[in-house]
Every structure is written in structure tokens, then in C-alpha cells.
Amino acid sequence: MNGKVILVGAGPGDSGLLTLRGRAALEAADVVVYDALVGQGVLAMIPPNARRINVGKRSSNHLVPQHEINQILLHEAQEGNNVVRLKGGDPFLFGRGGEELELLAEHGVDFEVVPGITSAIAVPAYAGIPVTHRDFTSSLHIITGHTKAKAEAQIDYPSLVKLNGTLVFLMGISAMPTIMEGLLAGGIDPDMPAAVLERGTTAHQRRVVSTVKNLVEDACAAGIKTPAIIVVGRVCALAGQFHWAEDRPLGGLRILITRPRELMSAFAGRLRALGAEVVELPSIATQAIPDNTALTGAFSCLDRYQWLTFTSPSGVRIFFEELRRMRRDVRCLAGLKLAAIGPSTARALEEHGLQIDLMPERYDAAHLGGALGVAANGARVLILRAKIGSPELTRALERAGVGYDDVPLYETVYACANAELVKDQLEQGEVDYVAFTSASTVKGFVGAMGDLDYSKLNAVCIGEQTAAEAQQYGMKIVTAQSATIDSMIDCLTGLSRLKEGGV
């Protein structure tokens, strides 16, 4: 039985511009066939269990020829797979989506199309250029810079000029001199505002606003490269007044975050809300310990303990999953006091209606153990955490003479599903900061990256133990003032201001 192919427009780069329908299609995919122009943030949304096929088309450099891409889609669907064809921008706007559907339709393969936000509108918007404005123009015209048959498109420039609208040229950077000459020969005002917009909607977007007669020279002086689009029209003059993307607190920063997938979304969402382009690379995963007899034993005699201690949100999540699996609920915790290593763990407990009794002033194992050693005062403590946890916690309890049972809930597994997609960016210096929220995330990241030159990496670490792990690899380290996500975000915002000031 045949599978299905869904053509999904990934948008122009910013992962926030992927449609809800597009994301849902990705999450259900067995196979994802993707282009070079799909943003890293969108690629990070591909499920770990989905097979990826990089067909890498960019301008005239095609990793896989179009006819072979068509055959790949057909073959994968005929194998019964749910296939997502992930394309930059919109599949039908110079995206060859129609060509890919022809073969599928010929063989009776089911398909759907999920439109995407086109760069022709989104990239100018992120550069402060409205493509229409009643005081300037009421029409928009989108033109390709090249065609299937010829390297340069055959364009009727005099007719375009007479339209007196905003002109957007896609895939036209290599043909920019010819396009500008054609417009001038077609009668356009040489002083008509024009812009070239590079890597639009990403953290490293750039714009050059000029005139038709000077755009080629100014773009060359700025070193503009593909991917980029050309915009011609009086609305380009509004960019100086309407620019906004780079003005946000984290605008212009590409930040790689390495938290476990289940903890990723809140951190990533806050960074994106502040303007950062976020690349998600979960470098560790947590797996509940199967047939956990130690936990079962602790549950059977909870009345032995007076304190229950958690050292991570993952521990809280897995604890309550196990509680449900054993068909028990929070009533079995009656009379127990709760200790949490920090605010994130405390919030995870609060989501289950539980208020903590103790949290140390500094959010690490040593200070948690020290605070518990005083508060427990001869009571017995049940510690629920990772199989390999910091010995500082139990050492502090032993020094205080507090009895405890250290029960492992989960194991930390090092895994980076998208490592190959990110390493090239790191090697080219295109990631501004890597955020590490534990020493384990550093270990998982390094294990996935291999022989990377870590001395060029700017690492923002949540605490001293994380920073110490990163230091072993020679990373440039900044440590958050306190071991919280809030403090990490404050740290990154401060670094952004320093970068903007050229410090």
C-alpha cells in the first residue's frame, strides 16, 4: 500500500514562521526530504525517529538533480512511508513543487500541499520594508532571476517598469547586474530606491538599501552573498524608519541550546520572543530505569522518610510517571517534606500541586546537601535523581549525620540527532553562543561534535559545575550569576548589548 507525500513550505528561515499545519506534518513524518534553504530551527523539529534525506538544492549547485528528487519521493511513498518534502519558502512559488507532484499524480500516490510563507514578503518585512503602502504603491510583482531553461530569466523590463509597483526578484543575486541594467534600459528612474536583503529572517540577516543605479556597486562593497533577494521600489526607502528585527534584545544572535528535548520548548520560546534565532540540539535524553526495584522498594515504605528530595525537573516528571504506573497518587506523600535543588525543579513540583519546603540559596548539589543537613535534623531523606548524580549532595548529608537512601530514577543518555546539521555552522562561526544547562549537556555535545575546535566556541553556562566541564575543552566561558534559566537569559541579553556596542 502506498504512503503519502506532503509538500511543506518551511518558510524563509525563522522557525517561528513555519505554519502549524507544517509542524504537524513534520511530527508525523517517517521520512523528511529537505533542501539547503530550510532553516536550522525548522530542521530541529524533525522527529528523531524520522529518516532524513538531504537533497541540498541551492542556486545552481544541486546536491541531487530535480529528476532524482522526484524519484526519491515516489520510491519512499511506494514503500508505504509518510513522506514530508520540506522546501524553503512556499512549494509553489518558484519551488518546483508542481514538477514534483506530476510524477506522484502519474503513479496514483496521494499527496497534500502545505503552503509556506514566502521570502518575497517575509524577508522585506523583517528588513523594515512593507511590500505595499498606499502612499507609495498598491501592487507587488515577484519575478524569478533564472529559469529552468536559461541561467537568466527572460524579463520584459519595460512592462515591469510601467507597472510602477514593488518588484521582488528571487534567486537573482548572480544576475543582479543584468537585472539593474534591464530596469534602467526599461526606463526606471535611476534614483529609484532598491535593496538587496541577505539571509532574511535569520539572526545574521543583512540589508543594503541603495538605488537602482548604485545597488550592484553597494552590494559588492558589502560582500552580499546568496541566499538573498532584490527589492526595487519606493517602499525600500522606509527600511531606515521601519527596521525592527535587529532592535530586539537578542536580535542578531544565533543561540544553540542543548537541553533535553522535553525541557527545550520553554527556554527556546523565551529566547525567540527576545529576538534570538534558536538552534535546538538536545545533547542528552533521560530514560526511566526499567524494572526499578529500588524505587518500588522505597514506595513500599515511604513512612520511613520525612524528606523527599528532587534534583531536576526530569526527576519530578519521571517520578510522577512511575507513580501513575503503580496506580498511586500524591496522597501517598502525605506528611513528607519536599526539597528541590532550584526554581525549575520547584516549578515542576508546583505543577502537581505540591509546594516545596526547602530550596538552597545556591542551586547546586553541595548547597542542597548543606541545607538539608541542617533542616532534616536527624530525619531520614529519600533522594530521587539520576543514576549518576553529584556526590556532593550525599557527602554533605553524611557530614551532617543525616540518614538517606539515594534512589536512581533515570539514566542520562548522550544523543544528538541533528549533530551533522549543526557542526558546519559551528565550524564556520555562525553560532554566536552555545547554552549549556548542565555538565551532562556539555558531555553530550562534545561527544556528538567530535574534533571541533572548541576554543572558538562561546559557551554560556548555568553554573560552576557546568562551566568546569566546558573549561576542560577550552571553550570561552561566561557563567550565569545564578543557576537558573532566568539568569542565563539575563546573561545572554547582557552579552548581546556588549556585542552591539562592539566590546
How many helices, marked H, and strands, marked E, lie in the chain? 19, 22
Counting beta carbons within 10 angstroms of the beta carbon of residue 276, is it exposed (0 to 12), middle (13 to 18) or buried (19 or more)? buried
pLDDT digits (tens, 9 = 90+) for 313-364: 999 999 999 989 888 888 889 999 999 999 999 999 999 999 999 999 999 9
**Which residue type does 295 have?**
L
Q: What is the pLDDT of residue 53?
A: 94
CATH number assigned to the domain comprising residue 145 = 3.30.950.10
Same domain, 55 and 138: no
Q: Please tell me the distance from the alpha carbon of residue 389 to that of residue 221, in angstroms, as a whole number.
A: 55
Strands 193-198 and 206-211: antiparallel
Question: Which of these, 483, 477, 432, lies nearest to 202 by C-alpha position?
Answer: 432
The residues near 87 (Cβ < 8 Å, ≥ 6 apart) are 7, 8, 9, 10, 34, 35, 38, 95, 97, 116
Q: Note whether 7 and 83 are within 8 A (CB).
A: no
Which of 77, 93, 116 is a domain's end point?
116
Same domain, 48 and 99: yes
Residue 127 φ then ψ, to 5°: -95, 5
Grid coordinates representing 108 are 496514483
pLDDT digits (tens, 9 = 90+) for 459-473: 999 988 899 999 999
Counting beta carbons within 10 angstroms of the beta carbon of residue 311, is it exposed (0 to 12), middle (13 to 18) or buried (19 or more)? buried
SS (H, E, C) 14-48: CHHHCCHHHHHHHHCCCEEEECCCCCHHHHCCCCC
Same domain, 55 and 22: yes
Residue position matching grid coordinates 571541533: 452
Q: Please tell me the distance from the alpha carbon of residue 224 to that of residue 226, in angstroms, as a whole number.
A: 7
Q: Please tell me the distance from the alpha carbon of residue 114 to that of residue 271, in angstroms, as a whole number.
A: 27
Same domain, 290 and 409: yes
Q: Note whether 193 and 233 are within 8 A (CB).
A: yes
Same domain, 152 and 168: yes
Which of 386, 414, 442 is a domain's end point?
414
Same domain, 427 and 382: no
Q: For this structure, is 57 an active site residue?
A: yes
The residues near 475 (Cβ < 8 Å, ≥ 6 apart) are 434, 454, 455, 457, 458, 459
Q: What is the pLDDT of residue 503?
A: 39
Same domain, 23 and 125: no
Residues in the chain where the model's pLDDT stays below 70: 57-62, 146-153, 417-418, 500-503
Range of the domain at 278: 248-283+415-500
Q: Note whether 22 and 8 are within 8 A (CB).
A: yes
Count the neighbouring beta carbons within 10 Å of the beta carbon of residue 167: 27
Among the options 4, 57, 87, 443, which is catalytic? 57
The residues near 486 (Cβ < 8 Å, ≥ 6 apart) are 343
**H/E segment holding residue 267:** helix 264-273
Which of 414, 433, 448 is a domain's end point?
414
Domain count, the chain: 4
Q: What is the pLDDT of residue 501?
A: 58
Q: Please tell me the distance from the alpha carbon of residue 373 to that of residue 404, in angstroms, as a whole number.
A: 11
Q: For this structure, is 191 an active site residue?
A: no
Question: Which of these, 352, 342, 270, lies nearest to 318 by C-alpha position?
Answer: 352
Q: What is the pLDDT of residue 40?
A: 81
C-alpha atoms less than 13 angstroms from C-alpha of 269 in its C-beta half-sphere: 5
Grid coordinates representing 300 are 513500599
Same domain, 293 and 407: yes
Same domain, 405 and 294: yes
Count the neighbouring beta carbons within 10 Å of the beta carbon of residue 240: 10
Strands 193-198 and 228-232: antiparallel
SS (H, E, C) 206-241: EEEEEECCCHHHHHHHHCCCCCEEEEECHHHHHHHH
Residue position matching grid coordinates 552573498: 225
Same domain, 37 and 81: yes
Provide DSSP, 188-203. --TT-EEEEEESTTST
Question: Which of these, 277, 257, 128, lies nearest to 203 by C-alpha position?
Answer: 277
CATH number assigned to the domain comprising residue 25 = 3.40.1010.10
Same domain, 383 and 345: yes
Among the options 14, 35, 364, 432, which is catalytic? 35
Q: Please tell me the distance from the alpha carbon of residue 48 to that of residue 27, in angstroms, as a whole number.
A: 10
Cα distances (Å, whole numbers) of residue 465 to 204, 370, 479: 32, 17, 10
Same domain, 197 and 106: no
